Amino acid sequence: MFDLKQIRKDFPILAREVNGKPLVYFDNAATSQTPKQVIDVIVDYYSNYNANIHRGVHTLSQEATDMYEQARQTIQKHFNIAKAQEVILTSGTTHGINLVANGYDAFLNDGDEILVSAMEHHSNIVPWQMLCERTGAKLKVIPMNEKGELLLGEYHDLLSEKTKLVFCNHVSNALGTINPIEKIIESAHKVGAAVLIDGAQAAPHIKADMQSLNVDFYTVSAHKICGPTGVGMLYGKEELLQKLPPYQGGGEMIAEVTFEKTTYADLPHKFEAGTPNICGGIAFGEALNYMNAIGFDAIAKYEHELLEYATEKLLEIEGLKIYGTAAHKTAVISFNIDGLHPYDIGSILDKLGIAVRTGHHCAQPIMDFFKIPGTVRASFSFYNTTEEVDILVAGVQRAKNMLQ
């Protein structure tokens, strides 16, 4: 049973005030809040188990190792990943993308083509531009329409035997659009291209199934899913991870080191050089346990109700325009008011205790498409309420009255 009152009690930060007002936190697409259950795991780790993992024979090291590897198995189960060694623990989505981008240096040639969607976060654009500069490959863009939906017909026209890689987010961080990644993956595979999906924005709302998607790479960040910052997951098909060279060199990722030659460890350690964010990995697993206990179907249903309610109420404000009106989207609303700068609106909302994001949201090509400098973005989570939406709407109306 979805018990909103109890859920809100799990998040200590929701009880605080900002600028003398109760906090209304609508910046969940940037970072979700952390429940007490996850905070307790972090405190417990540093209080009772803090030690380096995999290499120690003493009790603390063995216990920390067991907890860390159990978290990997939790992540494996959550995303329905076939093998634990296909779960690479990273510092976040950006790390995962760069790991793949650097590995593909060895496989791309001058004239090869890479496709990326028009609605990507900068972290799923810049690494591929850098890869093209190093290899001579060409970057092509899958266009979108005014609703914030990808044009699949034009995508299919771009695909050819030259296409080696396709990159797309599962959900747009700026617009909330849920992209048809199943079709994107299937079409890419028909021409022999590998696909990486940026799942950072999807993970809080959608329980992605790696086996069903048949995706080659999928990457997420824990801090979007009620976990801590500085940790994330890259899934990769075993045969592809075996082919990729290591992204970083150091301890843990080696089998043997001599001054003449180094051999690398088996997966997943081949890509996990150095001491990892041990506590973060353990807390990542606990965050998934917490959200699964609530249930992703219940979360999706409630968040959709919040999205519909907030959309209806915000559109009652004269001059307000929403960017991103795709038929399928998560609980994100990006908007502007005629003649007003999003930063000014966001600053006034902050004085009222309302946290929203303003700017281009690390998705500047989207803003260029709409010919705007940025938007105000309100992004909702399962611990938000319709009462908080009413506070937001009143705050936006107040900001409009003050600024016009």
Q: Domain coordinates of the chain in residue numbers?
A: 4-27+295-403, 49-292
Element (H, E) at 234: strand 232-236
The average pLDDT across 156-170 equals 98
Question: Is it true that domain 49-292 has CATH number 3.40.640.10?
Answer: yes
> Edge to edge, what strands does the sheet with 113-117 contain?
87-90, 232-236, 217-221, 194-198, 163-169, 113-117, 138-142
Structure tokens given for 45: 């780790």
CA distance 323 to 194: 31
Check whether 264 has a pLDDT greater than 80.
Answer: no
The average pLDDT across 219-248 equals 96
pLDDT score at 266: 84
**Catalytic status, residue 279:** no
pLDDT score at 247: 85
Q: Which of 33, 28, 26, 31 is nearest to 9 (CA)?
A: 33
Structure tokens given for 238: 């075993």
Q: Which of 328, 375, 378 is nearest to 356 (CA)?
A: 378
Check whether 144 has a pLDDT greater than 90.
Answer: yes
Maximum CA extent, the chain = 71
Among 76-90, 211-225, 258-272, the least confident range: 258-272
Check whether 221 has a pLDDT greater than 90.
Answer: yes
User: Exactly one of 132, 168, 226, 362 is catalytic; which is it?
Assistant: 362
Q: Which of 171, 82, 191 is nearest to 124 (CA)?
A: 171
Check whether 186 has a pLDDT greater than 90.
Answer: yes
pLDDT score at 390: 98
Query: To the nearest 5 percent, what fractions of the chain are helix, strand and coil?
Result: 45, 20, 35
CA distance 173 to 361: 7
At a CB cut-off of 8 Å and minimum separation 6, what does 5 contact? none
At a CB cut-off of 8 Å and minimum separation 6, what does 386 contact? 306, 309
CA distance 51 to 61: 5
Length of the chain: 404
Angstrom CA distances, 83 to 183, 211, 269, 385, stand at 24, 11, 14, 38
Q: Which of 125, 160, 161 is nearest to 141 (CA)?
A: 125
Top-level class of domain 4-27+295-403: alpha beta
Check whether 376 has a pLDDT greater than 90.
Answer: yes
In the chain, % of residues over pLDDT 90: 92
Round the average pLDDT of the chain to a whole number and report it. 96
pLDDT score at 253: 75
The average pLDDT across 298-320 equals 98
- Banded pLDDT at 327 (limits 50, 70, 90): very high
Among 23-32, 46-55, 327-336, the least confident range: 46-55
